Structure 1
Amino acid sequence: MIEESIIEKAKEGDKQAFRTIFHYYEQKVFSTAYFIMKDRQHAEDVVQEVFLKVYLKIHKLQNNKVFEIWLYRITVNLCSSFFRKLNKFSTSSIDEKIMVEDFLISEKFSLPDNILIRKEFQEKVMEVVYSLPVKHRTVITLYYYNNMSIKEISNIMGCSEGTVKSRLFYGKKELKKAFDMEEEDKEDAIYEF
């Protein structure tokens, strides 16, 4: 999390402080928007709108400690607004689904075979996540990719912690079901020979 003094300077109109905030959070906001929106261009549009809104409204933020929650609330709300405007889901190529290299390849998966296995696993996870309703997908994204607590997600989404837990449970159940079915398919394929 960024230092509160930088947030305070940005509230006072310091452009360098705002740039620091932007550079610190740009990729995180993009990743969140991308995983919710399923479309690179829409996610980039959301990022622009988020930081424009932050720039224009940061002076109204009363408690610097909640800056990050406020930022992600803006992100989630703008994603919802985009969905309403589009009134449909866009499809994206499988390459775009594998977007943030940080999520795909860590040092422990740096061998070519491991990279391929990791990439295939990531593709499968993202397919399942993208098939979830937007509210469930948003909770999964905030919880797993942004490492937020249930309480933080509750604040961002404006719903109860119980609702967040329920959506998280549903998302996990769908992921488990998808991977259990895949394992059964592999076992069936073994018996066919």
Structure 2
Amino acid sequence: MSEENEIDRVHLTYSDEQLVEKFKAGDKDSFRILVERYKSRVYNIIYGIMGNRDEAEDLSQEVFLNVYRFLHRFKERSKFYTWLYRIAVNVCLSAQKRKNKSGSIFSLTELSETNNTSGKMELADQSFSSQKMLENMELARKIKSAINSLSEVLKTTFILRESEDLSYQELAKIFQCSRGTIKSRLSRAREELRQKLKLYLM
């Protein structure tokens, strides 16, 4: 076994916290392992938000560049992946603001907790499909504006839930709170979005 492979084998046994501490102590291999550990998740989150594979690749690199620049400031008051996912979400939102063209972050799926078993909010004019309606620049602008108007904690929770389909338990671990708190946040986010988008809903 080569020395490099042996280093990788040893590093893979470390927790995120141990890798962060080793990086702060000057071990660059620790950062490489963190990237390998999380690059797929970060890419999936970004692709879910942005909907473009090339953009997801570019923004993933931006996320890890930011992580590399600021990891020495990470105080470990939260889990590493919580901090990482927050960076990913913020990078996406910044990218959306930089874009001149209109585009949608999310569909109208799962914005309400009604008796609709499909989990989808019905559009007021059913002669249009959801996809066609989302192509409408005004609707896309309304959706982006509504999502961006949420408080940071509601927005981040909602984006991670919708883009990565994380469970309540996974979200609770990320935010270090109870499942009930997560459910409450998502309910509040959906209610606010439903009110802001009510003209487009049944």
TM superposition score category, shorter chain reference: 0.5 to 0.7
- Return the letter of the residue paired with 1:140: R
Does the CA contact (< 8 Å) of 1:46 and 1:78 recur in 2? yes
Q: If the length of structure 2 is used for normalisation, what is the TM-score?
A: 0.53
CA distance in 2, matches of 1:154, 1:142: 20
Superposition deviation, residue 71 in structure 1: 0.4
Does the CA contact (< 8 Å) of 1:46 and 1:79 recur in 2? yes
Does the CA contact (< 8 Å) of 1:7 and 1:64 recur in 2? no
CA distance in 1, matches of 2:20, 2:190: 31
| Gap change, CA 1:3 and 1:74, over 3 Å in 2 | closer
1:31 alignment partner in structure 2 = 44
Once the two structures are superposed, residues 28-59 of structure 1 have per-residue CA deviations (whole angstroms, 9 ceiling, x without a partner) of 00000000111111111110010000001000
Equivalent of 1:149 in 158, 171, 174: 171
Superposition deviation, residue 10 in structure 1: 1.8
Does the CA contact (< 8 Å) of 2:42 and 2:85 recur in 1? yes
* Identical aligned residues as a percent: 30
Superposition deviation, residue 12 in structure 1: 2.4
Structure 2 residues without counterparts, runs of 5 or longer:
1-13, 105-129, 135-139, 148-154, 194-202
1:61 alignment partner in structure 2 = 74
Superposition deviation, residue 140 in structure 1: 2.8
2:18 alignment partner in structure 1 = 5
Runs of 4+ deviating beyond 6 Å = none
Does the CA contact (< 8 Å) of 1:6 and 1:17 recur in 2? yes
Does the CA contact (< 8 Å) of 1:54 and 1:71 recur in 2? yes
Superposition deviation, residue 7 in structure 1: 1.6
Does the CA contact (< 8 Å) of 1:8 and 1:64 recur in 2? no
Q: What secondary structure sits across from 1:17 in the alignment?
A: helix
CA distance in 2, matches of 1:170, 1:154: 23
| Gap change, CA 1:165 and 1:87, over 3 Å in 2 | farther
Q: What secondary structure sits across from 1:62 in the alignment?
A: coil
Structure 1 residues without counterparts, runs of 5 or longer:
92-126, 172-193
2:97 alignment partner in structure 1 = 84
Does the CA contact (< 8 Å) of 2:49 and 2:163 recur in 1? no
Larger helix proportion of the pair: 1
CA distance in 2, matches of 1:23, 1:45: 16
2:28 alignment partner in structure 1 = 15
1:41 alignment partner in structure 2 = 54
Please, what is the CA RMSD of the aligned residues? 3.8
Once the two structures are superposed, residues 94-134 of structure 1 have per-residue CA deviations (whole angstroms, 9 ceiling, x without a partner) of xxxxxxxxxxxxxxxxxxxxxxxxxxxxxxxxx77xx5835
